[in-house]
C-alpha cells in the first residue's frame, strides 16, 4: 500500500496534476492502494471553511479508507459528495499557460503581430470492534453516516496508540509511523474523519472514479493537516491548493510563499514539451528556495482573466465548491469582477523540510498573477528588403536570449535545448576575426 497526503506529481495541462488527500489512506489486509493524484480546494471567509478533497485513486476500492483530522464532530449536513468536474474546472482555469505571438512581415510598412491564445490547458464506516474494547482503547465513535458512495465515521481518541490499534483491529493495515503522526492532533483534541467506499452505493452512482468529499466547518485556524500523509511517504509529496477567499491573495503564514517565474519568452519547441518544461521549471524553483517554500502559480479575481486558459467558473459552479456568500449577492458579474479571489498554490514537501502543518492567511494583495510563458513565432515567409537583414539579426539575438532563459528556468543543458530548437539554435556567438589567428 502506498499512502500520501495532499501529494502531487506534476504533469501539467496535457497530463493532470497528481496528489493525495489531506490525511492518509488505510487499506484492508494486503490490498494494493495507489493514490496518484489529488487537489484540494479551500473556500474560506472569516472562520467559515469548506474543503473539497479530490483524488485520482486507482486500485481496489474494496474497504479503502481515508483518515483526516478535523476540528470538531461534523453533522451529516456538513458533509457532501461533490463533482470532480469542479476541481477540473479550477485546474483548467488557473493552470500555467502559454501565450503565442507571431511576427509580421518585416518588409511590410505596417506590422501588427497576431496573437493566438494557447489554452493549456470526489451504512457505517469501519467495521466496529466491540463497544467495550473500543472504550478500553480510548476511542469514541462520535457519529456515523452514509453520504453518497462513502461510509463515514467520526472518531475521537485519548491516545494515538489506542486509535492506531482500533483501526488495525477494524481490519486496516496502518502506516508504520501512524501513532506518532496521530499524536499531535490528539493533543490538540481534534477529531478524526474516516471515510470508506460503500461498494453498493458506489455501483449505484455509475461513476468509475471516486468523487470528491466536501466538508464544511468553523475554525479559527486556516490550515491543512499534512503530517499524517508523511507517515509512510516514500519521498516528497506534492499538493495543489485552490484557495478561494472574498478578498486578496492567500499565502502560508508559517512557510515562505514565492511566485513562480513568469512572463518570460521561451523557444517555440516548448509548446510541444510544455509538461516537461514546467516540471523542470517548478523543480528548479523549489530547490532554489531550500525545498521549504510554497510556490504561487495563479492569483486572480474570478470574474475575469487575461488571458483565460478556460472560461471562469460561473456562480453555480462556485456555489458547488462552497462559495456560500454568493447566495447573498445574486446577479451576473462582468469585468468588474466577483467578490472572490482564487489563489493557486503548489507545495512539494517532506517531513524534513515541512515539519508543521500548513497554516494560511489571507492578504490584502489583489494584484493579478499567473504562470505565463510566451512563444513568439518568427516570420517565415519570403523576405526581400533591407529591413529583413536587420530582422534576421534581431531574431538571432532573440533566439539566443530564449535559449539562455530556458536553461536558467529549467537547468536543461545546451545539447537538449539545441535539439529542441533545431535550425533556430543560435549557436556560439561569433568571435572577432583576430581571435582565430593564434588559437
- Cβ(73)–Cβ(198) below 8 Å: no
Does residue 216 belong to any structural domain of this protein?
yes
Mapped onto helix, strand or coil, the DSSP state of residue 274 is helix
What per-residue confidence (pLDDT) applies to 338? Answer: 79
Does residue 430 belong to any structural domain of this protein?
no
How many angstroms separate the Cα of 150 from the Cα of each of 60, 77, 107, 141, 213?
Answer: 15, 14, 66, 17, 9
27-58 pLDDT, tens digit per residue, is 544 434 444 457 899 999 999 999 999 876 66
What per-residue confidence (pLDDT) applies to 56? Answer: 65
> Cα-atom radius of gyration of the chain, to the nearest Å?
25
Residue with cell 498573477: 369
Q: Is the peptide bond before 376 cis (omega within 30 degrees of 0)?
A: no
- Show the cell assigned to 248: 486578496
Q: Return the exposure string of 389-403: e unless at least 16 CB atoms fall within 10 Å of the residue's CB, then b.
A: eebeeebeebbeebb
Alpha-carbon distance of 220 to 299, in angstroms, equals 24
Alpha-carbon distance of 114 to 224, in angstroms, equals 44
- Whole domain around residue 337: which residue ranges? 24-374
Does residue 16 belong to any structural domain of this protein?
no
399 CB-near residues (< 8 Å, 6+ apart): 267, 421, 424, 425, 426
Alpha-carbon distance of 244 to 263, in angstroms, equals 24
Of 12, 97, 70, 46, nearest to 346 by C-alpha is 12
Domain total of the chain? 1
Which residues face 238 on adjacent strands? Answer: 348
What per-residue confidence (pLDDT) applies to 278? Answer: 93
- Cβ(260)–Cβ(410) below 8 Å: no
Strands (E), 20-87: 24-28, 33-35, 39-45, 48-53, 57-59, 64-70, 79-81
Please tell me the pTM assigned to this model. 0.82
Confidence at 304, pLDDT banded by 50, 70, 90: confident
- Cβ(373)–Cβ(260) below 8 Å: no
Of 355, 374, 210, nearest to 292 by C-alpha is 355
162-172 pLDDT, tens digit per residue, is 888 888 787 66
Alpha-carbon distance of 279 to 236, in angstroms, equals 14
120-148 pLDDT, tens digit per residue, is 223 333 344 445 567 778 999 999 999 99
Does residue 156 belong to any structural domain of this protein?
yes
- Show the cell assigned to 410: 529549467
- Show the cell assigned to 405: 532563459
Does residue 388 belong to any structural domain of this protein?
no
Query: Residue 2 CB: number of other CB atoms within 10 A?
Result: 16
Does residue 416 belong to any structural domain of this protein?
no
What per-residue confidence (pLDDT) applies to 311? Answer: 85
Q: Which residue has the higher pLDDT, 275 or 177?
A: 275
CA torsion through residues 398, 400, 404, 410, sign? positive
How many angstroms separate the Cα of 242 from the Cα of each of 79, 92, 255, 346?
Answer: 19, 12, 17, 9
Helices (H), 66-159: 84-94, 131-136
- Cβ(181)–Cβ(216) below 8 Å: no
Does residue 19 belong to any structural domain of this protein?
no
With a cut of 50, say whether residue 10 has pLDDT above it.
Answer: no
With a cut of 90, say whether residue 322 has pLDDT above it.
Answer: yes
Does residue 9 belong to any structural domain of this protein?
no
Return the top range by mean pLDDT from 25-39, 180-194, 301-315, 318-332. 180-194
Amino acid at each position: 500500500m502506498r499512502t500520501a497526503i495532499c501529494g502531487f506529481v506534476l504533469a501539467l495541462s496535457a497530463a493532470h496534476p497528481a496528489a493525495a488527500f489531506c490525511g492518509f489512506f488505510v487499506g484492508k489486509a494486503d490490498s494494493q492502494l495507489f493514490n496518484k493524484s489529488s487537489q484540494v480546494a479551500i473556500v474560506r471567509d472569516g472562520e467559515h471553511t469548506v474543503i473539497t478533497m479530490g483524488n485520482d485513486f486507482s486500485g481496489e476500492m474494496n474497504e479503502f479508507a481515508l483518515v483526516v483530522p478535523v476540528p470538531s464532530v461534523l453533522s451529516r449536513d456538513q458533509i457532501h459528495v461533490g463533482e470532480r468536474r469542479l476541481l477540473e474546472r479550477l485546474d483548467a482555469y488557473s493552470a500555467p499557460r502559454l501565450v503565442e505571438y507571431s511576427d509580421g512581415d518585416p518588409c511590410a510598412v505596417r506590422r501588427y503581430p497576431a496573437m493566438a491564445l494557447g489554452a493549456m490547458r470526489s451504512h457505517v464506516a469501519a467495521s466496529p470492534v466491540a463497544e467495550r474494547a473500543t472504550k478500553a482503547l480510548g476511542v469514541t465513535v462520535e457519529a456515523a453516516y452514509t453520504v453518497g458512495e462513502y461510509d463515514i465515521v467520526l472518531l475521537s481518541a485519548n491516545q494515538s496508540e489506542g486509535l492506531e490499534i482500533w483501526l488495525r483491529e477494524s481490519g486496516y493495515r496502518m502506516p508504520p509511523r501512524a501513532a506518532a503522526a496521530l499524536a499531535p492532533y490528539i493533543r490538540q483534541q481534534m477529531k478524526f474523519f474516516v471515510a470508506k467506499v460503500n461498494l453498493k452505493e458506489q455501483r449505484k452512482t455509475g461513476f468509475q472514479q471516486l468523487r470528491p468529499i466536501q466538508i464544511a466547518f468553523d475554525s479559527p485556524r486556516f490550515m491543512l493537516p499534512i503530517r499524517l500523509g508523511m507517515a509512510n511517504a516514500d519521498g516528497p509529496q506534492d499538493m495543489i491548493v485552490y484557495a478561494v477567499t472574498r478578498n486578496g491573495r492567500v499565502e502560508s503564514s508559517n512557510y515562505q510563499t514565492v511566485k513562480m517565474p513568469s512572463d518570460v519568452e521561451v523557444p517555440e519547441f516548448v509548446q510541444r514539451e510544455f509538461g516537461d518544461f514546467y516540471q523542470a521549471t517548478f523543480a528548479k524553483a523549489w530547490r532554489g528556495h531550500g525545498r521549504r517554500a510554497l510556490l504561487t502559480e495563479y492569483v486572480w479575481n474570478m470574474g475575469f482573466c487575461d488571458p483565460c486558459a478556460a472560461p471562469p467558473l460561473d456562480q453555480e459552479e462556485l456555489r458547488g465548491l462552497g462559495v456560500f456568500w454568493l447566495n447573498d449577492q445574486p446577479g451576473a458579474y462582468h469585468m468588474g469582477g466577483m467578490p472572490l479571489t482564487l489563489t493557486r498554490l503548489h507545495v512539494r514537501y517532506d517531513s524534513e523540510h515541512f515539519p508543521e502543518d500548513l497554516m494560511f492567511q489571507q492578504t490584502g494583495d489583489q494584484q493579478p498573477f499567473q504562470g505565463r510563458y510566451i512563444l513568439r513565432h518568427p516570420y517565415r515567409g519570403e523576405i526581400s528588403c533591407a529591413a529583413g537583414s536587420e530582422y534576421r539579426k534581431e531574431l538571432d539575438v532573440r533566439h539566443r536570449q530564449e535559449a539562455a532563459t530556458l536553461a536558467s528556468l529549467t537547468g536543461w543543458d545546451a545539447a537538449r535545448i539545441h535539439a529542441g530548437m533545431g535550425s533556430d539554435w543560435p549557436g556560439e556567438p561569433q568571435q572577432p576575426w583576430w581571435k582565430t589567428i593564434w588559437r
